[in-house]
């Protein structure tokens, strides 16, 4: 297929200056995949649709995806963008012609600038930053690639914490995986392992076998890197060495760890029932922190499920000693407050159990 036949034109109207213009797009038959990378970057044999995925108005340089040109902007936003884009305007390449890697990268840079000016959602801005990072990788500019990836990672994490994920192009599991992979690529091994663990233990992971496979592969790779390479920068959780293997995964134990490891007690003969429940992310993080503390102290892997069962057993034993748990509650928040009051009462009794408070105080 010749280059001319590989393209077609799409028509757009700029939402800022109202100019009608055409932009090239790549036919699907001409997009031959060469490689799919672990951070979702796809390389192509000849022509890459990524290079033409951003449209740029030739008059005012408003830039973005096709969706951005269909977006209805408020009049005050339009006026502010028109003024800002005019002030930032400089001589630009012809984005309507065939694009080399530098022109494609410049289109993404203008799209990032536009998204920042109109205060786009974090998810949208992160996608543009990651795309710019991919193009910097193709152009073999590693410093620029790393700068874009780090900023994209920050935006993805803010999106995960604050935005409705159903409006983005990825579901929760895909976004969690991508955050883990970007942590790995920026050298933050411990954070990457934590995020991969969250993916692998997600209650809906079996519905996405491709992401599960990727997460397990990247977990193993990151685990190997964590043992042989230093962190590029310290992270908030680096002091706890959060290296928790996923359930069913393997774990490397050093000779010293093997010699000091205590024998595991025989499991109690208790029947088990599989209960599917959804936890809050901070609760999952707390469980992971306990797991990692156990690993640091005893070089023994305790799963999050075992931690949760142990906490429930402790509460059950406490209720047997100090009386029944509160039940007159209308919702989850009321029950939490009643439980806190119950534990405080139990803790002030003579000889009352304080083990829960002592064991968990240093990991909150």
Answer with the residue of higher pLDDT: 348 or 67: 67
- Residue 38 included in any domain: yes
- Residue 323 included in any domain: yes
- Please check whether residue 211 is in contact with residue 205, taking contact to mean a CB–CB distance below 8 angstroms: yes
- Residue 354 included in any domain: yes
Q: 32: domain range?
A: 1-140
The number of domains in the chain is: 2
Give 217's contacts (C-beta < 8 A, 6+ positions apart): 38
Long-range Cβ pairs for the range 138-142 (8 Å, 24+): 138/43, 138/48, 138/101, 139/101, 139/102, 139/105
Q: Which has the minimum average pLDDT: 29-33, 119-123, 293-297, 343-347?
A: 293-297
Find the helix packing angle between 189-200 and 172-185, rounded to 10°: 160
Answer with the residue of higher pLDDT: 339 or 156: 156
Q: How far apart are CA 62 and CA 17, in angstroms?
A: 9
- Residue 226 included in any domain: no
- Residue 247 included in any domain: no
Supply the pLDDT for residue 39: 96
Q: How far apart are CA 315 and CA 299, in angstroms?
A: 26
Domain final position from 91, 112, 140: 140
- Residue 237 included in any domain: no
Q: Which has the minimum average pLDDT: 278-287, 303-312, 354-363?
A: 354-363
**Size of the chain in residues:** 364
Confidence of residue 324 (pLDDT cuts 50, 70, 90): confident
- Residue 89 included in any domain: yes
Domain final position from 140, 174, 201: 140
pTM: 0.64
Domain final position from 114, 140, 166: 140
- Please check whether residue 178 is in contact with residue 152, taking contact to mean a CB–CB distance below 8 angstroms: no
């Amino acid at each position: 297929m010749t280059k001319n036949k590989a393209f077609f034109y799409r028509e757009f109207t700029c939402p800022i200056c109202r100019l009608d213009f055409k932009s090239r797009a790549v036919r699907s038959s001409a997009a031959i995949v060469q490689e799919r990378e672990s951070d979702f970057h796809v390389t192509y044999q000849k022509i890459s649709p990524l290079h033409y995925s951003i449209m740029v108005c030739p008059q005012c340089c408003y830039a973005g995806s096709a969706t951005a040109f269909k977006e209805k902007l408020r009049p005050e936003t339009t006026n502010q963008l028109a003024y800002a884009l005019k002030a930032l305007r400089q001589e630009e390449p012809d984005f309507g012609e065939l694009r080399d890697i530098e022109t494609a990268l410049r289109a993404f840079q203008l799209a990032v600038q536009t998204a920042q000016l109109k205060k786009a959602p974090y998810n949208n801005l992160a996608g543009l930053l990651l795309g710019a990072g991919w193009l910097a990788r193709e152009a073999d500019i590693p410093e620029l690639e790393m700068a874009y990836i780090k900023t994209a990672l920050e935006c993805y994490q803010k999106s995960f914490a604050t935005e409705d994920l159903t409006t983005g192009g990825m579901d929760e599991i895909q976004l969690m995986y991508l955050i883990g992979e970007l942590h790995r690529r920026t050298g933050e091994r411990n954070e990457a392992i934590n995020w991969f663990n969250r993916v692998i233990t997600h209650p809906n992971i079996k519905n996405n076998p491709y992401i599960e496979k990727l997460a397990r592969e990247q977990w193993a790779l990151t685990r190997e890197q964590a043992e042989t390479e230093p962190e590029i920068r310290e992270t908030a959780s680096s002091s706890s060495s959060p290296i928790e293997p996923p359930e069913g995964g393997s774990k490397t134990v050093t000779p010293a760890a093997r010699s000091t490891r205590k024998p595991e007690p025989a499991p109690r003969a208790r029947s088990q029932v599989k209960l599917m429940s959804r936890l809050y992310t901070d609760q999952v993080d707390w469980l992971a922190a306990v797991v990692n503390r156990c690993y640091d102290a005893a070089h023994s892997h305790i799963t999050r499920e075992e931690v949760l069962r142990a906490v429930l057993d402790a509460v059950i034993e406490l209720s047997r000693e100090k009386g029944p748990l509160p039940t007159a509650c209308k919702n989850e928040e009321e029950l939490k407050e009643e439980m806190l009051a119950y534990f405080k009462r139990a803790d002030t009794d003579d000889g009352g159990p304080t083990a829960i408070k002592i064991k968990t105080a240093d990991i909150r």
